[in-house]
A and B are shown apart, each in its own frame.
Chain A
Amino acid sequence: MNAPRDEEAWIGRAKALLDDSADALDAATLSRLNRARHAALAQRRRMPRTWALGAGIAGLAAAVFGVAIGLHHGLNRDVPTRSVPLQAADIELLTGDDDALDLSENLDFYAWLERQPGDSNG
């Protein structure tokens, strides 16, 4: 059976025909292909400068951002900030616990009330 050999033969012939068609391109087409190739390669020559320029601009932007942040912090530092320790009374005033104040101011009354015998309402 020579089917594989036939297959190889016609595929080989097809490849040769495709090669011929690629080799037989006209001059105008070849010229355009050459220009396309040179343009693509020229782009590669320009790439490092473009990349470096982009990196430079990014670096400059980062520096400007850093300076802006620094200035912002510097301005904020001029505002006086004082630290005053809070007392227990201040906390009670802030929380508005009026009953606690009443209890501390009427200790004598509550002591007398404790001493009274036979409080029928208790």
Chain B
Amino acid sequence: MTACNVLMTAFEDEPATPAAGEASPALERFLDRVARRALRMAELATGHRDEALDLVQDAMFGFVRHYAGRPDAEWAPLFWRVLDSRLNDWHRRQHARGRWWVPRSAGDESDPADFVPDPHEPGPLARLAGDEAARALEAALRRLPHRQRQAFLLRLWQGLDVSDTAKAMRCSEGSVKTHLSRALASLRRGLEDPR
């Protein structure tokens, strides 16, 4: 028997024990907890459920492969970071193919007057209280530039603090605040005037 055969036999005989590589119940619970929100986030970014499912699955694989061994407290920003990376890659691919599914925003540049609320508007809360609330919110979120949408979803929906949001988006904390501020202004505007 050659040395190689001995080596292979040794590995084949190794039982599938719950050693260092065993997925912990905590890891399983974490992925279960974030999966639905991750899918909604990917769906808002792509506009396609199937593509969103593929991206979330890819993010789960990447997260487990690279970060599952890290302390539990670090999992959330790291998982969202992996998903954000996948979403950025998806956007780059779409851009390269020249087929954005949604009209591109003019960027993050905005008129300062847009930040001033119109007292005659019913306001975003009224828009979100009606029967079409969910649809109006989804449309407004999809109109946001990707980085602004990510800042809003990670910081306010997922509840990450500014520091963890910055880690997830791989940018400075100042950039998170800027993206979030613009996202809120754009959402307010979009919900007040959803044309």
Contacts and interface: CB of A to CB of B under 8 A. Distances in A.
A68 interface: no
Interface string A24-48: 0100011011001101111111111
Interface in B1-56: 3-4, 7, 10-11, 14, 16, 19-23, 27-28, 31-32, 35-37, 39-40, 49, 53, 56
Max chain A C-beta neighbours (<10 A), residue from B35, B37, B49, B191: B35
Contacts of B129: 13
Interface stretch (A4-12, A84-92, A108-116): A4-12
B31 A41 contact: yes
A37, A40, A46, A53: which has the most chain B beta carbons within 10 Å?
A: A40
Interface string B156-195: 1100000000000000000000000000100110010000
Nearest to A15: B157
Give the size category of B's interface with A: 35 or more
A71 interface: no
Contacts of B56: 33, 36
B11 A53 contact: yes
B11 A52 contact: yes
A18 B40 contact: yes
Residue among A9, A14, A43 with max Cβ neighbours from chain B (10 Å):
A14
Interface stretch (B62-70, B91-99, B105-113): B62-70
Interface string B99-133: 00000000000000000010000011100110001
A5 to B, nearest CB: 10
A7 B4 CA distance: 67
19 contacts: A3-B117, A6-B123, A7-B188, A10-B125, A10-B188, A10-B191, A14-B157, A17-B137, A21-B134, A33-B36, A37-B35, A39-B57, A40-B60, A43-B64, A44-B64, A46-B21, A47-B65, A52-B11, A53-B11
Interface of A: 3, 6-7, 9-11, 13-15, 17-18, 20-23, 25, 29-30, 32-33, 36-37, 39-49, 52-53, 56-57, 60, 63
10 nearest A-B residue pairs (beta carbon): A36-B57, A40-B60, A48-B21, A10-B125, A10-B124, A41-B23, A22-B36, A13-B128, A40-B64, A33-B35
